[in-house]
Structure 1
Amino acid sequence: MSEEIIDNRTALLHNQRNVTTPRTTMESGGTTGPLLYAVVAAVLGMLQFGFNTGVINAPKQFIENFIRDQYEVAPDLIFGVIVSIFAVGGMIGCPLASWIADKRGRKFALLANAVFGVIGGLLMGFSKAGSSVGMLIAGRFFIGINCGFATTASPTYVSEIAPLRLRGAFGTVNQLAVAFGLVGGQILGIDVILGSDNGWPYLLGLAVLLSAIQCLMLLFIPESPRYLLLVQSDEEKAREVLSKLRGTGDIDEEINGMHAEDRAAKEEEKFTIGDLFRIKALRTPLIIGVVLHLSQQLGGINAVLYYSSTIFENAGLTVEDARLATIGVGSILFIMALVSIPLMDRLGRRTLQLWGLGGMAVSSVLMTAAFFTYKDNFTMSIFAVIFTLLYVAFFGVGPSSIPWIILSELFGQGARSAAVSVGAAVNWFANFIVGLVFIPLTNVLNNLVFLPFTILLIFFYVFVYFKLPETKNRTVEEVTAEFKK
Structure 2
Amino acid sequence: MPTLNPPMPWKLTLFSILHGTIGNVGDLLSTTAVTFEGSIKSYFNGTEVIDFTINEVWPSNTYSVFTISSILGQIFMGILYYWVVNRYGVKNSWIKVRHFCVVAGCLIMLVARFTDSLEIAIFSQFVIGCSVFFSLPLLIHLSECAPFHKRASIILNTNTAYMTMTVLLLPLSATTELGNKQNWHIIYYIGIIFSLLYVFLTSRVIESPKQLYFTNPNYKKTEASILYYFGHTVNTEKVLDDYENELHMYKTRTHMSVKEMFERKSLRHLLYYVLVGDFTTRLSLTSIIFPYIQYILSYFEVIETNITTFMIGLQLIGLIASMLSATVSEIFPRRNLVLAFTFISAISFKLIFIAFLFKTLNYSLLITSTYVFISIFISFIVSNIGQCNIGSILITDMVPVHAKIAITQLISIVSNIVLLFITLTFIPLLQLTGSALFLNYNLIMMACAYFMLKKLPETKNKLVHEIFECYHEF
- How would you bin the TM-score normalised by the shorter chain? 0.7 to 0.9
- Please point out which of 158, 182, 188 is paired with 1:174: 158
Q: Name the residue aligned to 2:74.
A: 90
Counterpart code for 2:25: Q
Pick closer, same or farther for the CA change 1:250–1:111 going to 2, 3 Å: same
What is the RMSD computed on CA atoms of the aligned residues? 3.9
Q: How much has 1:88 moved relative to structure 2?
A: 1.7
The question of 1:260 aligning with 2:260 is answered: no
Per-residue deviation at 1:150? 3.5
| Counterparts of 1:242 and 1:279, CA distance in 2 | 31
CA 354–229 in structure 1, closer or farther in 2 if over 3 Å, else same: closer
Q: How does 1:260-299 map to 2 (within 5 A)?
A: 260=244, 263-264=247-248, 266-267=250-251, 273-274=258-259, 277=262, 280-299=265-284
Q: Give the TM-score normalised by structure 1.
A: 0.78
The Cα shift of 1:65 comes to 2.8
Query: By how many angstroms is 1:116 displaced?
Result: 0.9
Residue of structure 1 in register with 2:32 after alignment: 55
Aligned mates of 2:333, 2:116 — CA distance in 1: 51
Residue in 2 aligned with 1:378? 365
**Cα contact 1:67–1:133 (8 A) shared by 2:** yes
Write out the 4+ residue segments of structure 1 that deviate beyond 6 Å after TM superposition: 268-271
Alignment of 1:6-405 (within 5 A): 17=2, 27=6, 30-32=9-11, 38-44=15-21, 47-48=24-25, 50-66=27-43, 68-69=45-46, 77=61, 79-94=63-78, 96=80, 99-101=83-85, 103-109=87-93, 110-152=95-137, 154-162=138-146, 169-184=153-168, 186-203=170-187, 206-222=190-206, 224=208, 231=215, 248=232, 253=237, 256-257=240-241, 260=244, 263-264=247-248, 266-267=250-251, 273-274=258-259, 277=262, 280-374=265-359, 376-380=363-367, 381-405=369-393
Q: How many residue pairs align between the two structures?
A: 456
Cα distance in 1 between the residues matched to 2:245 and 2:61: 50
Q: What 5-or-longer segments of structure 2 have no aligned partner?
A: 48-57
State the partner residue of 1:450. Answer: 438
Distance 1:79 1:377, change over 3 A: same
The 3-state SS of whatever aligns with 2:387 is coil
Give the match's secondary structure for 1:316: coil
SS, match of residue 56 in structure 1: helix
Q: Following TM superposition, by how much is the alpha carbon of 1:123 offset from its aligned partner in structure 2, in angstroms?
A: 2.2
Q: For the residues of structure 2 that align with 1:79 and 1:95, how far apart are their CA atoms?
A: 25
Which of the residues 425, 433, 441 maps onto 2:421?
Answer: 433
- 94-103 vs 389-398, which moves further: 94-103
Distance, in Å, in 1 between the alignment partners of 2:173 and 2:59 is 20
Partner Cα separation in structure 1 for residue 201 and residue 277 of structure 2: 36
Letter in 2 for 1:60: E
Q: TM-score, normalised by structure 2?
A: 0.80
Q: Structure 1 residues 68, 211: CA separation in 2 closer, same or farther (over 3 Å shift)?
A: same
Quote the Cα distance in structure 2 between the aligned partners of 1:420 and 1:58: 28
CA distance in 2, matches of 1:401, 1:203: 27
Partner of 2:52: none
Contact 1:46 1:177 in 2 (8 A): no
Contact 2:170 2:312 in 1 (8 A): yes
Cα 1:394–1:236 shift into 2, 3 Å: closer
Q: Deviations over 1:114-141 (max 9, x none)?
A: 1211111222344333211112111111
**DSSP-derived class of the 2:177 partner:** coil
Specify the code of the residue in structure 2 equivalent to 1:348: P
Q: Give 1:238 deviation, angstroms.
A: 5.8
In the TM superposition, residue 476 of structure 1 has moved relative to its aligned partner by 4.7
Deviations 1:412-431 (A, max 9, x none): 55555533432232222222
| Alpha-carbon separation, structure 1, partners of 2:156 and 2:300 | 34
State the Cα distance separating 1:202 from its structure 2 match: 2.5
Kept in 2, the 8 Å contact 1:358–1:461? The answer is no
Unaligned ranges ≥5, structure 1: 1-15
Q: Which deviations, in whole Å up to 9, do the C-alpha atoms of 1:176-218 show, x marking residues without a partner?
A: 2333344456543222322112222324554323212212322
SS at the partner of 2:182? coil
| Separation (CA, whole Å) in 2 of partners of 1:358 and 1:128 | 45
Q: 1:258: Cα distance to partner?
A: 7.9
Matched, 1:422 2:422: no
